Amino acid sequence: REEIEAFVIENEQTLEQFRIQFVGRKGRLAELFEGLKDVPNELKREVGQALNAVKNAAEEKFQNAQESFNSKKSKVEIPSDLTLSGPFAQGTMHPLTLVRERIIEIFNRIGFSVSDGPEIEKDFYNFTALNFPENHPAREMQDTFFIEKGKGAVQDDVLLRTHTSNVQIRLMEYQKPPIRSIMPGRVFRNEAISARAHCLFHQVEGLYVDKKVSFKDLKDTLYHFAKEMFGKDTKVRFRPSYFPFTEPSAEMDITCLICKGEGCNVCKQAGWVEIAGAGMVDPNVLENVGIDSKEYTGFAFGMGIERITMLKYQIKDLRLFTENDVRFLKQFN
Ligand code: PHE
């Protein structure tokens, strides 16, 4: 009994030694029980009880040690409460994700669904179906990354989409009006990286096609968006513009929230900053996808998520979004 008590079980190897030495089939206790038959009859009872007590003590010691090793092991591998947070610092949402989710929420509430489309795209969906004539200079405006020359027709060329307007076409090919959807996604342009521009950025396209959709609907929708996103005091203005796929076309500016009207790196035009291109869907575009332009009209708009995020959070340099500096990222909770 003293030997058993003195034995130190400190790890799994010594636990095994203990088992072999004392409690195993060929251990000391088994040997002692074996000797019981030579004990005189009148002492058998007493010796037997004493041996049993020692055996119980040894088994208890063995089991306790074994359990404590097992529970240590399982604490490392499987936490007993899986909802507890891990030993890592908690991450934060990327500001572009936060703003994209907010944009989706604002448009969802006024009946817009969310649609998706490919980033690697045929010229047809990025340009031709959107009423960009084959040699039109507007194609050059968009600094396209071309991937593959198609066999013959320009519209079979493969490229990285330069805007999310490709999803307009795919959606209208796939679904009959009424259509009311927004299309967030990544777009690519071969531009030098600076505080205001990047070769990869994010846009959200919007499309509404139905009977009697008007320019007033477009303005109301974008006003509503600007006020929800930036606050009800935000000033908005529309300027005439040109896009091959909308007629008439406009650009929407809001008052710059970074310099508050002084003119800065982000707004340039003294206090106003462009946040969206928009217009009534050109009848040619509707006809290209087999929608009768006498029966249906529509509006479309497109905006850059980076620009909106910069205004919302007063971020002066677009490169911060892709540098992965945790001091920047952890500010957005
Ligand atoms: N696709 C245009 C761009 O990237 C934006 C736009 C979308 C304009 C929809 C009008 C309508 O510049």
pLDDT at 76: 59
What value does the mean pLDDT of the chain take?
91
Ligand 1 site-directed mutation target among 160, 243, 281, 282, most atoms within 8 Å of CB: 243
At 121 the three-state DSSP class reads strand
Q: Mean pLDDT across the stretch 177-196? A: 95
Q: Mean pLDDT across the stretch 124-151? A: 87
pLDDT in tens, 104-123: 999 999 999 999 999 999 99
| pTM to 2 decimal places | 0.73
Percentage of the chain surpassing pLDDT 90?
Answer: 71
pLDDT at 152: 82
Protein residue with least CA distance to atom 10, ligand 1: 278
pLDDT at 203: 98
pLDDT at 267: 78
pLDDT in tens, 266-304: 777 778 899 999 999 999 999 999 999 999 999 999 999
Percentage of the chain surpassing pLDDT 70?
Answer: 97
Q: Report whether residue 300 contacts ligand 1, using a CB cutoff of 6 Å.
A: yes
CA of 243 to the centre of ligand 1 (A): 7
Least confidently predicted of 77-81, 151-155, 178-182, 307-311: 77-81
Q: Mean pLDDT across the stretch 124-134? A: 93
pLDDT at 321: 97
Q: Which of 282, 314, 284 is nearest to 300 (CA)?
A: 282
Protein residue with least CA distance to atom 8, ligand 1: 277
CA of 304 to the centre of ligand 1 (A): 10
Q: Report whether residue 205 contacts ligand 1, using a CB cutoff of 6 Å.
A: yes
User: What would you measure as the largest C-alpha separation in the chain, in angstroms?
Assistant: 117
CA of 168 to the centre of ligand 1 (A): 11
What is the DSSP secondary structure assignment for residue 186, as one 8-state letter? E
Q: Which of 2-11, 42-51, 298-307 shows the highest mean pLDDT?
A: 298-307
Protein residue with least CA distance to atom 2, ligand 1: 302
- Per-residue confidence at 174, pLDDT binned at 50, 70, 90? very high
How buried is 155 (Cβ within 10 angstroms: 0-12 exposed, 13-18 middle, 19+ buried)?
middle
* Residue 26 token pair: 């060929």
pLDDT at 133: 87
Residue 199 has pLDDT above 90, yes or no: yes
pLDDT in tens, 61-98: 999 999 988 877 655 566 677 777 777 777 889 999 99
Q: From the annotation, which residues make up the binding site?
A: 247
Ligand 1 site-directed mutation target among 112, 131, 160, 165, most atoms within 8 Å of CB: 165
What are the backbone angles phi and psi of residue 298, rounded to the nearest 5°? -160, 165
ipTM confidence score: 0.98
Residue 137 has pLDDT above 90, yes or no: no
Least confidently predicted of 1-15, 115-129, 299-313: 1-15
CA of 17 to the centre of ligand 1 (A): 77
- Per-residue confidence at 265, pLDDT binned at 50, 70, 90? confident
3-class SS string, 3-56:
HHHHCCCCCHHHHHHHHHHHHCCCCHHHHHHHHHHHCCHHHHHHHHHHHHHHHH
Amino acid letter, residue 145: F
Q: Report whether residue 142 contacts ligand 1, using a CB cutoff of 6 Å.
A: no
Say which residue, 257 or 292, is predicted with more confidence.
292
Q: At what angle do helices 305-313 and 215-230 cross, to 10 degrees?
A: 40
Q: Mean pLDDT across the stretch 30-45? A: 90
pLDDT at 237: 94
